[in-house]
Amino acid sequence: MQGPAAAPLPTDARITTAGAAQPRMGGSAWRRLWPWAGPGRGDRHLGPLKLLVLQSTGFCNLDCRYCYLADRHVKSRMDPALVEPIVRKTIDSGFVKGGFSLLWHAGEPLTLPPAYYEEAMARMQAGRAASTCSDTDIAVHIQTNGVLINAEWCDFIRRQGVRIGISVDGPADLHDRMRVTRSGGGTHAATLAGIKRLQDAGIPFNTITVLTAEALERPEDLLRFYVDAGIRTVGFNVEEIEGENPTSSLSRVTPEAYAQFLKRFLELSRRTPGAPRVREFDAMHRLITGGGDTVVGQFTPFSIVSVDHLGNFGTFSPELLDVKSDRYGDFLIGNFKTDDYASAVRSRKYRRLNRDIAKGVAACRQSCSYFRLCGGGAPANKYFEHGSFEATETLYCRLTKKTVADVVLDDLERQLA
């Protein structure tokens, strides 16, 4: 996910038993609601719902060269009143287990003012209060390019306890090559000014860097940048072939070259005070050493639900939200103004998508020795790279699953030795 503001998707979360994967309701109640998809019914599990992505606006003030969003130039705005039924229906779906993250994303959220989110947060609270489980934990996140962060935003973020993710691609020349304004100007200075305002206000934040072929040649410069900027955590996304971005500089990069980059970064980090933690290393380390037998990811129905500014929603990969397709028309399975999760699960569109994505997962299970650590990959990448959800390996999984797993396993073995 690398759009105008690449989102902090939870990396695939391990759950320990098939039973623990089910939503928070008794087994029999769950089967009454979803009789065709319950445990032991030969279908895949639905949820648990971990991430609700809300597109407050599809508009972005930047025009990043690798962005997958087609309508990022169109000004749009979700009615904040819609947040109440979205949250209520989400909790009442039975797919939530304890809590979930609500992420404002899929455009640049900060192009709408803090007052918009004040109202949206009030609607969110109203939706939770009106639901059948009013103590559900909701962690609110905003993923932003950071250029609009000012004192007013810092006050809002601190007051509301919002978690912030900033998209920054390392040193100025790397960042400004891809993350540009509509007139082609660089945005590094403005993003760093936003980061500085957060730091001055004592607000913690995470960062995401989209790695291109050029970045892989510069592990030292990237690390130096994070240390100098006081950045303590980073998620390495890769430049993906998705939506409006039909090519990636990483297509010409071998897994060995990517592994070299990761190894070098890891090795340098170990001897550099103030080096950031890397999301991919930590997540893979947990997967490898954590035990358990089931991985939840973008392929898991209703683990992620994405909602556009009109209330249309879909599940599986968030990047499918705004996409049109010859084969499927679109990837939407309902609209929260009139539909809910039960009607979405019954819809022909969902059942077709679920069936095709399940075939791809089954093919992965058959053919891939990394399946236990991956679970079946990202449907959007399979679709955008191969034109089919039934495909297996992608550029994305080759780099972010297989290569990361190899590097972390190798590192663990070295440490043991």
Residue 146, phi then psi, degrees to nearest 5: 85, -10
x-or-dash pattern for ligand SF4, window 319-358, by CB under 6 A? ----------------------------------------
Q: What is the DSSP string of 90-144?
A: HHHTT-EEEEEEEEE-SS-GGGS-HHHHHHHHHHHHHHHHTSS-TT-EEEEEEEE
Smallest distance, Å, CB 74 to ligand SF4? 32
Of 229, 228, 247, nearest in space to 239 by CA: 247
14 lines the binding site for ligand SF4 (CB under 6 A): no
Q: Which residues contact 340 (CB under 8 A, 6 or more apart)?
A: 89, 92, 93, 334
Smallest distance, Å, CB 367 to ligand SF4? 7
| 137-144: strand order across its sheet | 277-278, 233-238, 205-211, 163-167, 137-144, 96-104, 49-54, 304-307, 312-315, 334-335
Of 72, 179, 279, 402, the one binding ligand SF4 (CB under 6 A) is 402
| Residue 323 or 374 having the CB closest to ligand SF4 | 374
Q: Could you tell me if residue 185 is left (phi over 0), alpha (psi between -120 and 50 degrees) or otherwise beta?
A: beta
For ligand SF4, which stretch binds (CB under 6 A), given 52-60, 176-184, 320-328, 391-399?
391-399
For ligand SF4, which stretch binds (CB under 6 A), given 24-32, 206-214, 282-290, 394-402?
394-402
368 lines the binding site for ligand SF4 (CB under 6 A): yes
13-15/294-296 β-pairing: antiparallel
**How far apart (Å, rounded) are the C-alpha atoms in residues 213 and 79?**
40
Smallest distance, Å, CB 241 to ligand SF4? 14
Task: Show contacts with ligand SF4 in window 216-275 (CB under 6 A).
Answer: none
**How far apart (Å, rounded) are the C-alpha atoms in residues 2 and 50?**
19
CA dihedral 320, 324, 330, 334 (to 10 degrees): 70
Tokens of 20: 């623990």
For ligand SF4, which stretch binds (CB under 6 A), given 113-121, 130-138, 235-243, 393-401?
393-401
Cβ neighbours, 10 Å, residue 54: 25
Of 376, 395, 403, 408, the one binding ligand SF4 (CB under 6 A) is 376
For ligand SF4, which stretch binds (CB under 6 A), given 28-36, 42-50, 100-108, 369-377?
369-377
| Residue 127 or 377 having the CB closest to ligand SF4 | 377
128 lines the binding site for ligand SF4 (CB under 6 A): no
Of 253, 392, 399, 411, the one binding ligand SF4 (CB under 6 A) is 392
Q: Could you tell me if residue 230 is left (phi over 0), alpha (psi between -120 and 50 degrees) or otherwise beta?
A: left
**How far apart (Å, rounded) are the C-alpha atoms in residues 92 and 229?**
43
**How far apart (Å, rounded) are the C-alpha atoms in residues 86 and 306?**
11
For ligand SF4, which stretch binds (CB under 6 A), given 162-170, 181-189, 349-357, 396-404?
396-404
For ligand SF4, which stretch binds (CB under 6 A), given 129-137, 224-232, 257-265, 397-405?
397-405
Of 370, 383, 384, 389, the one binding ligand SF4 (CB under 6 A) is 370
Of 374, 380, 395, 404, the one binding ligand SF4 (CB under 6 A) is 374
Asked if 49 and 303 count as a contact pair (C-beta separation under 8 A), the reply is yes
Of 124, 147, 229, 364, the one binding ligand SF4 (CB under 6 A) is 364
| Residue 90 or 403 having the CB closest to ligand SF4 | 403
300 lines the binding site for ligand SF4 (CB under 6 A): no
Burial group, residue 331, by CB count within 10 angstroms (0-12, 13-18, 19+): buried
377 lines the binding site for ligand SF4 (CB under 6 A): yes
Residues of the shown chain interacting with ligand SF4 in the complex, contacts defined by CB under 6 A: 364, 368, 370-371, 374, 376-377, 392-393, 397, 401-402
